[in-house]
Amino acid sequence: MKKSLHMLFAVLVVVVMAVSACAPATPAPTEAPVVVEPTAVPPTAVPPTEAPAPELGTAENPLIMALAPSATTQELQTGGEAIAAKLTELTGYTITTTVPTNYAAMIEAMGAGNAHIGWLAPVQYIVAHGKGYADVGLATVRNGSNHYGVQYVANVEAGFTSYYDAATGTVTADAATALAQFADKKPCWTDPLSASGYIIPSGLLKANSIKTPAGAWVQGHPTVIKSVYLSPKGEICSFGATFIDARSNVVADFPDVNDKVVIIWVTEPFIPNDNVSFAANVPADMREKLTQGLIDLASTEDGIALLKSGGYSIQGLEVVDDTFYDEFRVYLEASGVDPTTLFK
């Protein structure tokens, strides 16, 4: 019996082992997979879109008309605003006015976009054009001419001899003879870039070896006349130089100016009149419309009255281009002024 039990136990052991061998193997536990989170990519920054600048010539971005300070600021401002208002009516553009402090400031305003229409004196224009700031559109006309000359003036009580025949508008002596009496006398000048108020008259004095003290810079041709009028003994200056005949610009203030301020000598009319120029950033179609508007303005009596009231005594306008100034450039060089040095 005991032997049978042993045999049964042995058989059970063998069966258990056989079953264990046939059972599938239990897989070894594995580590959980590492989940890699995607890297967050910031969206590409989109710069804010700037609103386009208002169209030039609108109320939000008006055309700026700059007036050369060759007359009194108030006179120019009043007359300029009247011209701008009429030009706005004729063209539909909104136009405002400004009077820069001096000729150089006006040139820089044209280059910086702070002036779009400029009433420029001739040397001003040559400098502005040389810098690429402005292009001429129209020349002014006075007394039927688009050129003018220089006059030297003095107070009648100063005792200078006049070599100018008012009846014929001619001179009776050469420059050396007439101007010699200004030696050691203080002049009144308008602006360093004024052709008739400084560059040409001072150049003629130097060309004839006539030395004078440093001048008084009084700005504006009417102011030169007024300064001479108020200087019978050279209190401000002993003589001055202006365009011909700047005395007419102060008759309202000094009715006897033609008696008190005498013309000593004049040059031939070889200086181009001041002009209307356009800044480089003014589009061609806008230039054409403004040019036509000004021509239309100058074609009527009311328009001429407005142009005269602006302080420039303008009697007409005519279309010109840069070649209008070629001959004057030669005169400047002959007088010792190299135009290219003025705009370096």
Question: What are the DSSP calls for 270-336, one per residue?
Answer: -EEPPEEEEETTS-HHHHHHHHHHHHHHHTSHHHHHHHIIIII---EEEE--GGGGHHHHHHHHHTT
Among the listed residues 273, 271, 258, 270, the one whose alpha carbon sits nearest the alpha carbon of residue 225: 258
Residue 258 — pLDDT band, cuts 50, 70, 90?
very high
Strand order in the sheet with 216-217: 216-217, 187-189, 239-243, 150-155, 261-266
- At 336 the pLDDT is 75
Give me the pLDDT at residue 19, please: 37
What per-residue confidence (pLDDT) applies to 46? 63
pLDDT tops 60 at residue 184: yes
Which of 19-33, 35-49, 58-72, 184-198 is least confident? Answer: 19-33
Give the model's pLDDT for residue 259.
Answer: 97
| pLDDT tens-digit series, residues 101-138 | 888 999 999 999 999 999 999 999 999 999 999 999 99
Q: What is the pLDDT of residue 205?
A: 95
How far is residue 260 from each of residues 97, 160, 188, measured CA to CA in Å? Answer: 34, 12, 16
- For the chain, what percent of residues have pLDDT higher than 70? 82
Q: Where are the alpha helices (DSSP H) in the chain?
A: 2-22, 73-91, 103-112, 122-130, 175-179, 200-207, 221-229, 257-260, 284-298, 301-307, 326-334, 339-342
Residue 102 or residue 45, greater confidence:
102
Average pLDDT over residues 209-235: 95
pTM across the whole model: 0.78
Which pLDDT score is estimated for 49?
Answer: 67
Which residue would you say has higher pLDDT here, 218 or 48?
Answer: 218
pLDDT, mean of residues 75-80? 82
Confidence at residue 23, expressed as pLDDT on a 0 to 100 scale = 43
- Residue 309 pLDDT greater than 80, yes or no: no
Q: Region 204-226: what's the mean pLDDT? A: 94
Average pLDDT score over residue span 86-104: 94
pLDDT band at 308 (very low <50, low <70, confident <90, very high): confident
> Token pair of 137, please?
């559109």
Q: What is the mean pLDDT of residues 231-246?
A: 96
Helix/strand/coil for 38:
coil
Place of tokens 């001739």: 122
- Closest by alpha carbon to 154, among 230, 71, 213, 250? 230
Mean pLDDT score of the chain: 86
Nearest to 86 by CA among 107, 65, 113: 65
- pLDDT recorded at residue 8: 36
CA distance 89 to 81: 12
- Kindly state the tokens that stand for 281: 């950033």
Q: 20 pLDDT band (50/70/90 cuts)?
A: very low
Spatial separation of the C-alpha atoms in residues 203 and 311, rounded to whole Å: 26
Q: Which of 62-71, 72-81, 283-292 has the lowest average pLDDT?
A: 72-81
Q: In whole angstroms, give the CA distance from residue 339 to residue 329.
A: 7
For 14: left if phi > 0, alpha if psi spans -120 to 50, otherwise beta; the answer is alpha
More confident of the two residues 76 and 325: 325
Q: What tokens appear for 149 in the block?
A: 């000359």
